[in-house]
Amino acid sequence: MVKQPTVTDIARLAHVSPSTVSRVLTGNSPVHPEKTAAVLAAIEQLNFRPNLAARALVRGKSMAIGILTQSIASQFYGEIAQGIEEGLAGTGYQPVFASGQWQAAEEQAALHLLIARQIDGLILLGGDHPNDGLIAVNAQIPLIAVGRTIADLEQRCIKVANREGAFQAVKHLIDLGHRRIAHITGFPIHKDTFERRLGYEEAFAAAGLLPDERLVVEGSYTEQSGLIALEALLARGIHFSAIFAANDQMAYGARLGLYRHGLRVPEDVSLVGFDDLIGSAYSTPPMTTVRQNMLEQGRHAACGMVTLLAGESPNLTPIATELVIRESTARIRG
């Protein structure tokens, strides 16, 4: 085995003391620029890689931020994760990802794994972990939540204008003459689901209309659940001319179901999603949806966490939504 270079080796090559090398590595106290340059040159020449665990002990930090997501494969969480990586770039902090896979036990195990890694902070992306457990975590390390609200930690939660976005989506369909508008919801325990359904209902109320409860069917934010929900709607035999899905992935599934039944979008059924995933602009037809900037949410969470770790209070302003009208919606025929 090739012997790894040590601090003593660097000091010898740079003609400085080992304590000077340590000060350069930790950044805890100033070092003369010429000595710093000599140490950095020696580090590069020797291909030195500092022991991260040892540095964590010296600094009292691991320089790792835990990211607890629900599905690493999800386009939605993937874009937020990319935003977090962009927000942490150049800060010295590195993201460490773990997934709950939409299962309570898996989520708890992933949380325990991250804490065992001695992370400096936790960014939570959705999930169902109990509020009291998260409050206990926040007492140990800083926590920021994206996509959920934690009672007593609202100031640490990045909120999205879900209700307003859903209202605009359904109002758009009503303005096109649609009255029989189906709604595919997400998990009933998620606040996003509640807020988006509330926006759906408020759009009807604002137009002096009543939604048909028989046209509301539950999904689980996946493409497959959107397909299953569409089949359930058709099996009920109740006419509808438009669908508002609570996220784009379920809208994709519903679009496949409509195609299999010979129903055209938007000629027979108009379709609106929520999120504005990258693929929505390239679906057939390009899909009308509500944009919530996931990259911005990720960057916002990362910058907020760095601010927290610097001992300051972050300003976690709400994320606005915007209706993006494409070709999957049209005025009702007849």
Supply the pLDDT for residue 57.
Answer: 45
Which tokens is 182 given? 């189906």
Q: How far apart, in whole angstroms, are the C-alpha atoms of residue 148 and residue 146? A: 6
**E strands within the chain?**
64-69, 94-99, 121-125, 143-146, 157-158, 181-185, 216-218, 242-245, 270-275, 288-292, 321-324
- CA atoms 74, 77, 81, 87: torsion sign: positive
Percent of residues, the chain, with pLDDT higher than 90: 55
Residue 61 has pLDDT above 90, yes or no: no
Q: Which residue has the higher pLDDT, 52 or 237?
A: 237
Hey, what amino acid is at 201? E
Residue 334 has pLDDT above 70, yes or no: no
Supply the pLDDT for residue 128.
Answer: 77
Whether cis (ω within 30° of 0) applies to the bond prior to 30 is: no
For residue 156, give the DSSP letter. Answer: G
**CATH numbers and ranges of domains, the chain:** 7-59 (1.10.260.40), 64-159+295-319 (3.40.50.2300), 162-292 (3.40.50.2300)
Half-sphere exposure of 326 (CA within 13 A, CB side): 22
Supply the pLDDT for residue 99.
Answer: 86
Supply the pLDDT for residue 234.
Answer: 98
Q: How far apart, in whole angstroms, are the C-alpha atoms of residue 327 and residue 265? A: 9
- pLDDT category of residue 83 using cuts at 50, 70 and 90: very high
Percent of residues, the chain, with pLDDT higher than 70: 93
Q: How far apart, in whole angstroms, are the C-alpha atoms of residue 119 and residue 211? A: 47
pLDDT tens, position by position, 245-287: 999 999 999 999 999 999 999 999 999 999 999 899 999 999 9
Q: What is the pTM of this model?
A: 0.75
Q: Which residue has the higher pLDDT, 127 or 291?
A: 291
Q: How far apart, in whole angstroms, are the C-alpha atoms of residue 190 and residue 193? A: 5
Q: How far apart, in whole angstroms, are the C-alpha atoms of residue 332 and residue 334? A: 7
Ranges 24-33, 124-133, 199-208, 312-321: which has the least confidence: 24-33
pLDDT tens, position by position, 128-184: 788 888 888 888 899 999 988 888 898 999 999 999 999 999 999 999 999 999 999
Residue 53 has pLDDT above 80, yes or no: no
Hey, what amino acid is at 112? H
Supply the pLDDT for residue 26.
Answer: 60
Name the average pLDDT for the chain: 89
Ranges 45-54, 86-95, 232-241, 325-334: which has the least confidence: 45-54
